[in-house]
Amino acid sequence: MPKFATSPGTRDILAPDSARWRHFQQVFADVVEPAGYAHIIPPMFEDLGVFLRVGETTEIVTKEMYDFEDKGGRRIALRPEQTASVCRAFVEHRPVTPWKVWYGGPNFRYEKPQQGRYRQFDQVGIEALGPDDPQLDAEVIALAMQFYAQLGLRQVRLSINSLGDSGDRDRYATALRAHFSAHLDALSAESRATLERNPLRVLDSKRSEDAAVIAAAPKMADHLSADAATHFAHVQAALRSASIQFVVDDRLVRGLDYYRRTTFEFVSTALSAAHTAIGGGGRYDGLVADLGGPETPGIGFALGLDRTLLACDAEGVFAAPASRVDVFVVDVTGGAEATSICSALRAAGVGADRAYEGKSMKSQMKAADRSGARIAIIIGDDERTTNTAIIRTMDDGSQQSAQRDNLVASVRQALGR
Ligand code: ATP
Ligand code: MG
């Protein structure tokens, strides 16, 4: 038994998956940076108040927060998400608008760990603050779709909804509360408890007992103000003209209370079970003001890296990048040759690795296999005396002899670069 293991809901990401994680962020940056989104790296912990705002009643904030008092007596939280941090940064730095940023990195939520649900999980996301232009809503959604396409994902379904402005949302919550209260007996115990806190979240219940009462519930669409309804119509028109397919799901509420107007979610139809949501987002037009800034509309999304990679596995796309070790040097003459050959190759920009401790030929060849190198350079006693080296192509086992003096050039040629 090892003395320590990772805490529940956390994992070590080992190679080759770790390279895939890094590549994921790079692909994301390559999609959003050309669209004008600059990288922001918010801290991983902040004042609890950034996340725990007045009226915020959802699980993320009430039950799942990693909060603690630090040695200076401050109430601190590990960030459960990054939108609130970005808005806090906006208030702190007052950049000119539109302010368009992207981020990537871990978040922390005290969840019940299971496949696709962890206590430390990664997200990439964008936020755009300033305009409340529906064209911007469509841009944000389109960038997420472009990113999924870039990964190679095909089975991503986009659902959108409008939660209206804050007044609409409150009136809708009242109507829902009345409806659910009139049918309390038909609701699950969990949904009755949710109703106390936030009637909108009852719509999110996946319990079969609740399905009928939810189906009969009043619809958000009937509670939208004229402004919110027009905004939503324009978002849909912009998505249609960009040929982005979507379904309007008027039961779509999201996990945070700060959402207003447009909300959306991306589901992988290649995944089964409870972790099909691979990303989501929406407008949060009141959040900046809540954090002490000027009234500033905002919209963004966060995509779950862990789950998106599960979706990639399910669709057989976005494989781990190839090994960056191009050459493995097998030296059975003591290791000094491997040292000088590796140095020369690395200095020339060719990835090179080797074995240590004077291992046998067999053991070094095994290591060469494991390294993922396309080529092995083999130095035996003969090669050392004749000042040559064997260049072996790993996948077909073909071998050729090369002069030590121009080994780097011969390797480059064998690698085709
Ligand atoms: P869920 O309903 O699945 O709990 P959520 O609404 O809490 O999701 P968001 O806060 O909107 O999720 O985060 C956006 C994305 O981040 C989710 O769609 C999901 O892919 C991912 N995500 C959220 N929580 C976790 C977690 N605990 N582990 C792994 N990924 C997560
Ligand atoms: Mg959640």
Structural domain contains residue 208:
no
Integer Cα distance of 300 and 102 in angstroms: 9
Structural domain contains residue 190:
no
Integer Cα distance of 240 and 235 in angstroms: 9
Does residue 278 share a domain with residue 334? no
* Cβ count near 226 (within 10 Å): 7
Q: Which of 157, 287, 307 to mutate to test the pocket of ligand 1 (most atoms within 8 A of CB)?
A: 307
**Two tokens, residue 40:** 């922001």
Ligand 1 pocket, 280 CB below 6 A? yes
Ligand 1 atom 24: the closest Cα is on which residue?
117
Does residue 348 share a domain with residue 292? no
- The last residue of a domain, from among 279, 294, 315: 315
Does residue 338 share a domain with residue 303? no
Structural domain contains residue 295:
yes
Does residue 120 share a domain with residue 269? yes
Structural domain contains residue 175:
no
Q: How far is the CA of 277 from the centre of ligand 1 (A)?
A: 7
Does residue 370 share a domain with residue 243? no
Structural domain contains residue 126:
yes
Structural domain contains residue 25:
yes
313-to-150, 243, 316, 317, 343 alpha-carbon distances in Å = 15, 27, 5, 6, 37
Ligand 1 atom 18: the closest Cα is on which residue?
279
- The last residue of a domain, from among 270, 293, 315: 315
Global pTM value: 0.92
Q: Is the peptide bond before 80 cis (omega within 30 degrees of 0)?
A: no
Q: What is the CATH number of the domain that holds 382?
A: 3.40.50.800
Ligand 1 atom 29: the closest Cα is on which residue?
117
- The last residue of a domain, from among 259, 282, 315: 315
Ligand 1 pocket, 11 CB below 6 A? no
Does residue 333 share a domain with residue 307? no
Q: How far is the CA of 115 from the centre of ligand 1 (A)?
A: 12
| Three-state SS at 285 | coil
Going by the DSSP 8-state scheme, the letter that residue 374 receives in this structure is S
CB-based contacts of 187, cutoff 8 Å, min separation 6: 180, 195, 202, 209, 210, 213
Ligand 1 atom 10: the closest Cα is on which residue?
255
Q: How far is the CA of 265 from the centre of ligand 2 (A)?
A: 13
Does residue 103 share a domain with residue 77? yes
| Three-state SS at 406 | coil
Ligand nearest to the CA of 119: 1
For the chain, the domain total comes to 2
Question: What is the per-residue DSSP string for 163-195?
Answer: ---HHHHHHHHHHHHHHHHHTGGGS-HHHHHHH
Q: pLDDT 10s per residue in the chain (417 long)?
A: 889 999 999 999 999 999 999 999 999 999 999 999 999 999 999 999 999 876 666 777 778 999 999 999 999 999 999 999 999 999 999 999 999 999 999 999 999 999 999 999 999 999 999 999 999 999 999 999 999 999 999 999 999 999 998 889 889 989 999 999 999 888 999 899 888 888 888 988 878 889 899 999 999 889 999 999 999 999 999 999 999 999 999 888 876 678 889 999 999 999 987 789 999 999 998 899 999 999 999 999 999 999 999 999 999 999 999 999 999 999 999 999 999 999 999 999 999 999 999 999 999 999 999 999 999 999 999 999 999 999 999 999 999 999 999 999 999 999 998
Does residue 58 share a domain with residue 92? yes
Q: Which atom of ligand 1 is nearest to the CA of 60?
A: 7
**Two tokens, residue 157:** 């379904």
Q: How far is the CA of 409 from the centre of ligand 2 (A)?
A: 54
Nearest to 159 by CA among 61, 276, 57: 276
Task: Name the packing angle between helices 166-182 and 189-197 (round to 10°).
Answer: 150
Q: Which atom of ligand 1 is nearest to the CA of 80?
A: 10
Structural domain contains residue 217:
no
Is residue 344 within 8 Å of 327, Cβ to Cβ? no
Does residue 238 share a domain with residue 95? yes
**Two tokens, residue 52:** 């725990």
Q: How far is the CA of 147 from the centre of ligand 2 (A)?
A: 22
Ligand 1 pocket, 307 CB below 6 A? yes
Domain, as residue range, for 367: 327-414
Using CA of residue 402, residue 404, residue 410, residue 414, what is the dihedral sign? positive
Does residue 231 share a domain with residue 339? no
Note the Cα 176 to chain centre separation in Å.
33
Ligand 1 pocket, 259 CB below 6 A? no
Does residue 132 share a domain with residue 58? yes
Does residue 400 share a domain with residue 310? no
Ligand 1 pocket, 79 CB below 6 A? no
Structural domain contains residue 182:
no
Q: How far is the CA of 107 from the centre of ligand 2 (A)?
A: 12
Is residue 361 within 8 Å of 333, Cβ to Cβ? no
